[in-house]
Amino acid sequence: MFERLKAMLIKEFIQTFRDPRMRVVLFILPMVQTVIFGYAVNMDVRKIPTAVIDRDNSPQSRELLQVLFASGHFRDSIRLENEQQAARLLDSGSVRVALVINHGLAGQLGAGKAATVQALVDGSDSNTAGVILGYLSRFAEAQNIRLLTEQTGRSGFPLLSGAVRMEARAWFNPDLASPPFYVPAVIANILYIITMLLSAMAVVREKEIGTIEQVIVTPIRKYEFILGKTLPFVLIGYANVFLISLVGWLVFRVPVRGSITLLIVATGPSAGVFAELPGLTDAALGDDAPVALPLAARLLALAWLQPAAWEQGWAISDGEASLALEWARAVPTARVRAVGVEPSLLGVAMARAGVGENLAAIPSASPCGASR
């Protein structure tokens, strides 16, 4: 067996690497695609061109703008006199946001009153506009806290000792940058597509060049033929994992941390074990079923929740509704409620999944949150 498999592997490597174009497709193209897709899916918004109409022109307004532009998210592009000029720049795309500070900002802040700053945002790109509004909202919140602290200090009254302030810390990606989030997913997709296509092409190539009949008459067995066609590209996939991870680190500064052994196992042939896990496939539930979580995610969630027969589960979103189907199917005696899902839609999915009456849909999201 091993001699026949060895001969098959040698033949496959020779056929693969003797074509210079194939070598480019195997090793150069994945790295180029990683760089292109890594930049294409970058959702970070930096140095936003900003126009300013500062009618107050007071020390308070200048300080407010200085703090805003020091954050790095906005760039002071141009100072304007009126809204008509801002409208022309927004229409032409020269700026993405225009800030309007009217007269009386300093007086209102000095009197302890609320002051209004208008933001005109280019909404042609809804995603970028949403990010810009999020930046401005967080900036306004931070300035309100600062002003409240200063006014309380001047008045001589201490801040309330019972105040609660949420301090969020993001693990693994403290700056919430896009590359550490997207580049690993791009790597996985590229490897999946390349290894799958090349394995299929290796089998088709035998038929196209007329050597499939020669393979049939050889003493090689079916599983040896399949292994001989897939193992070379598995090894090439491992090489691509190293090369693409190196590109991700050099170009996007995405660190590789954790268990290298787990990375090798997850990107190898054992990754297909998820296809053999028990559970409901998306195809079994149907295209119209409330399915947002993939099979592997649903099974991992159930393994972490460990639902018991006496517990009651609440699913608040469509993705959690697919998890509720798995929950009700795994524990028939548990009571599960899918909130915000149409009963008719869930009923079709329940019929396909073979779920009984222990799962029910609640059209309006009356409870808040998800619990078990």
pLDDT in tens, 66-125: 989 988 889 988 999 888 999 999 999 899 999 999 888 888 887 878 888 899 999 888
Nearest-angstrom CA–CA distance, 326 and 295: 10
Mark whether 52 and 144 lie in a shared domain: yes
The DSSP-derived string for 87-118 is: HHHHHHTS-SEEEEE-TTHHHHHHTT----EE
pTM of the model as a whole: 0.52
Q: Is residue 27 part of a domain?
A: yes
Asked whether 81 and 116 are in contact (CB, 8 A), the reply is no
**Does the structure show a pLDDT above 70 at 356?**
no
The reported pLDDT for the residue numbered 351 is 66
Q: Is residue 211 part of a domain?
A: yes
Asked whether 357 and 332 are in contact (CB, 8 A), the reply is no
pLDDT band at 49 (very low <50, low <70, confident <90, very high): very high
The reported pLDDT for the residue numbered 366 is 42
Q: Is residue 293 part of a domain?
A: yes
**Does the structure show a pLDDT above 60 at 161?**
no
The label of the residue with tokens 């941390």 reads 257
Q: Is residue 172 part of a domain?
A: no
CATH number of the domain that residue 68 is part of:
3.40.1710.10
Mark whether 52 and 143 lie in a shared domain: yes
The reported pLDDT for the residue numbered 180 is 80
Poorest-pLDDT segment among 26-40, 157-171, 173-187, 225-239: 157-171
Q: Which residues contact 176 (CB under 8 A, 6 or more apart)?
A: 170
The reported pLDDT for the residue numbered 279 is 56
C-alpha distance from residue 312 to each of 68, 152, 153 (Å): 48, 47, 50
Mark whether 61 and 123 lie in a shared domain: yes
**Does the structure show a pLDDT above 80 at 195?**
no
Distance from the Cα of residue 30 to its chain's centroid: 20
How many structural domains comprise the chain? Answer: 3
pLDDT band at 51 (very low <50, low <70, confident <90, very high): very high
The segment with the largest mean pLDDT, out of 67-76, 163-172, 347-356, is 67-76
**Does the structure show a pLDDT above 50 at 164?**
yes
At 298, give phi and psi (nearest 5°): -65, -40
CA-closest candidate to residue 272, choices 362, 180, 369, 192: 192
- The residue out of 140, 155, 170 marking a domain boundary is 155
Q: Is residue 162 part of a domain?
A: no
Poorest-pLDDT segment among 7-21, 251-265, 285-299, 326-340: 285-299
Domain that holds residue 142: 48-155
